[in-house]
Structure 1
Amino acid sequence: MSAQLSPTPLLRAFQDSYQDLVRFIARRTGSTHDARELAHDTWLRLAERTESEPGERPPPEPAARAYVYTVAENIAIDHLRRRQRGMERFASASQDADAEAGAAHDHSTHDIAERLSHRQALDAVDAALRQLPQRSRDIFLADRLEGTGHAELAERYGVSIKTVEREVMRALDSVEAAVHRWRGDTAPVRTGRRRALSALLGVAGMGVGSTTLWQAWRQWIPSYQSTLATAVGRVRTQTLPDGTRLSLDAASRAEVAYYATRRAVQLLAGSVFFDVARDETRPFVVAALGHEITVLGTRFEAALQDGDLRVAVESGQVRVRSSSGEERVLGAGDSVRIDASQRFTTAHLGEAVAVAPWREGWLDFHHVPLGEVVSRLARYSPRPLRVEPDAASLPVFGRVHIAQAGTWLRLLPGSLPVQVWEDPSIPHAIVIARRSPS
């Protein structure tokens, strides 16, 4: 009977959107075969509506397309719920091991497809947020994820409450448009109050469990992000939202991202001393050169130097895992160096040796090659420094006051068989080479 219906706005919208609709349903269910069957069910539902309400005023074309997608989404949700209930009954009733394994596999496949769908949606939202100005993005995330009040945000950013509201609405419009693009439809014309982000990413918005997706959002999308950097000769201390304090040495750079379940830092250059606020629900992880340092709350330094990673602990415990999977657990006074060949070199600093002495304006060197020493001093020197290969391996013992590093270099020939001069080919450059035998 339905097959004899003349085209209506709803059925025309279905026909015009059929291929996109099948792909839309396939993303929800993880199965192209199921998507075609569910698309057919969608057509039947639309046809039944047309038959049962022949005198109803037809919706305009844009609304018809949105209605088609809504019907298809509800049918896909019902399909997933039935399949879930069927698997649960099967698992509870069956005693056959092979059948149980097959059900577990089907369930796992569905879970993977659903997680992929979640991630695709979140990637679309994340991309939309990244295109916003920094202030708009920060205000939106603070408002929607942290629950910060508009008055507090207005004071924090030095703007009016009305401006905060506009920034939130601007970001929400961008997010909603991204979700509709991901779904394959067009964002409706704004006619009323904007929905909360949790509703937008929930059942009505995407056809998946809102709690699951909201938790995925909080896990994958950072609530706080910042890039910290220092110039040559400059140090900096930054307090993070949880009270953690980062002290950056000169010529250092790190990227910080806080998520619901973890706090992450990517060390890109130089040295950073971490005074980590304890939070057992969110481990603090520092990544550098493919290695990972994991703590809950402690004080330690992570430093990059000539392709090596060095970690030194002042208090607490730190777990260091190399990119090859090897691990070490360090306590107070312990240090480790991981070189380019993944080799661990551990040591105990002793009570007389400070961790990150550059915070107090000093550098300590104990049997450190001169080439590495000069590379370290270069972070503070406005003049280029160069060590010739014949002198680079000479061992250095001693303490250097950073503010007097230039004087220390000039006096170096008194303690090592080297000579120091200015290179006329490079303006103001200082060169250190092994002294010729007399």
Structure 2
Amino acid sequence: LHRLAYTGFAFLALIAAAIALSRPAWLFSNIYETQIAETIQIEAPDGSIIDLGPESRLRIAYDNQKRQVFLSAGEAFFDVRKDSDRRFLVTADETEIEVTGTRFNVHQGPSATTISVAEGAVQLRRKSKTINETKAAPLQLLAGQQAQARINDTGLTKVVDMAPAKVGAWRTGRLHYSDTALRDVIADANRYSQTPIIIADESLLDMKLVAAFKTSQIDAMIDGLPEILPLTIDRSSTDRIVLRSASRDSSE
């Protein structure tokens, strides 16, 4: 019996050693989550640095063939260490971003996943939710460029220019928007605001605005919205801020 037990233990130890040497992705899988207004910095197993924004969720899964990261919610800035032998892949919704070493930002909003490059280059692909195949030809982004994968579309938007210094500006407490739907701005604001902000009327959701403000000035940004959009602010409840159409309020 003792000999059989020893043999069984040795066999299990041998399997464990083989698993450790093969370094499967699941063995080194780590999940990181943040709360409202919380940010964290993660050092990945290869030395790459990931800044994770508020209300975000990220999973790291590395193996010998590739470095894989899954961003399932929120926003992250990646400073990827170069490794010509292992690709660095970020999957966010239906979008896959591939690099070997660069600095870029991935933002998941209600309308689209936005990828912005501060340094180096990345390659984007849209993938099907049901089968492992691309929906559109890969798109390359260089430093100072940005593109989106819109939620209700199957391709990628045209490349637009963006100042590299503004890529990942949320890490220093600043948010920038150009021709952006109100729903996307408010979705970001809610990741920093302890009081939920509700858009009560669908007519407001896709109204576009240009804005730049500090993450510590969400209330001031909200108070300034009626100056640029036809809406009113309802603060009658202590547990929420409600944005309503100005035309609706005037008719009541």
The question of a shared fold, defined as TM-score above 0.5 by the shorter chain, is answered with yes
Aligned length: 240
Who is 1:172 aligned against?
none
AA of the residue aligned to 1:269? A
Residue 419 of structure 1 is aligned with which of 232, 236, 240?
232
Who is 1:229 aligned against?
33
Who is 1:430 aligned against?
241
- 3-state DSSP class of the match of 2:188? helix
Residue 344 of structure 1 is aligned with which of 156, 181, 192?
156
- 3-state DSSP class of the match of 2:218? helix
Who is 1:250 aligned against?
54
**Residues 118, 164 of structure 2: 8 Å contact kept:** no
Shift of 1:355: 0.6
Give the Cα–Cα distance (whole angstroms) in 2 for the partners of residues 415 and 319 of structure 1: 36
Who is 1:401 aligned against?
214
AA of the residue aligned to 2:218? A
Quickly say closer, same or farther: Cα 1:196–1:392, change in 2 above 3 A: closer
Shift of 1:342: 1.4
Higher helix share: 1
Which one has a bigger Cα radius of gyration? Answer: 1
Shift of 1:307: 5.5
Who is 2:142 aligned against?
331
Quickly say closer, same or farther: Cα 1:311–1:298, change in 2 above 3 A: same
Query: 5+ residue gaps in structure 2?
Result: 129-133
Alpha-carbon RMSD: 2.8
Residue 373 of structure 1 is aligned with which of 180, 185, 192?
185
Give the Cα–Cα distance (whole angstroms) in 1 for the partners of residues 62 and 79 of structure 2: 16
Shift of 1:225: 2.3
Quickly say closer, same or farther: Cα 1:192–1:402, change in 2 above 3 A: closer
Quickly say closer, same or farther: Cα 1:312–1:350, change in 2 above 3 A: closer
Quickly say closer, same or farther: Cα 1:369–1:193, change in 2 above 3 A: closer
Give the Cα–Cα distance (whole angstroms) in 1 for the partners of residues 78 and 69 of structure 2: 10
Who is 1:311 aligned against?
115
Shift of 1:428: 2.3
- 3-state DSSP class of the match of 1:410? helix
Residue 361 of structure 1 is aligned with which of 173, 178, 193?
173
Shift of 1:352: 7.0
Output one character per residue of 1:109-146: Cα deviation in whole Å (capped at 9) or x when no partner: xxxxxxxxxxxxxxxxxxxxxxxxxxxxxxxxxxxxxx
- 3-state DSSP class of the match of 2:163? coil
Give the Cα–Cα distance (whole angstroms) in 2 for the partners of residues 389 and 353 of structure 1: 34
AA of the residue aligned to 1:268? S
Shift of 1:273: 0.4
Output one character per residue of 1:148-176: Cα deviation in whole Å (capped at 9) or x when no partner: xxxxxxxxxxxxxxxxxxxxxxxxxxxxx
Residue 410 of structure 1 is aligned with which of 210, 223, 238?
223
Structure number with higher relative contact order (C-alpha < 8 Å, ≥ 6 residues apart): 2
Shift of 1:346: 2.6
Who is 1:259 aligned against?
63
Output one character per residue of 1:67-125: Cα deviation in whole Å (capped at 9) or x when no partner: xxxxxxxxxxxxxxxxxxxxxxxxxxxxxxxxxxxxxxxxxxxxxxxxxxxxxxxxxxx
- 3-state DSSP class of the match of 2:213? strand
User: Pairwise mapping of residues 65-84 of structure 1 onto structure 2 (< 5 A)?
Assistant: none
User: Pairwise mapping of residues 135-174 of structure 1 onto structure 2 (< 5 A)?
Assistant: none
Shift of 1:435: 1.4
Who is 1:145 aligned against?
none
Quickly say closer, same or farther: Cα 1:223–1:215, change in 2 above 3 A: closer
Give the Cα–Cα distance (whole angstroms) in 1 for the partners of residues 164 and 98 of structure 2: 26
- Name the TM-score, length of structure 1 as normaliser: 0.50
Query: 5+ residue gaps in structure 1?
Result: 1-59, 64-187, 203-213
Give the Cα–Cα distance (whole angstroms) in 2 for the partners of residues 297 and 422 of structure 1: 47
- Name the TM-score, length of structure 2 as normaliser: 0.85
Identity %: 26
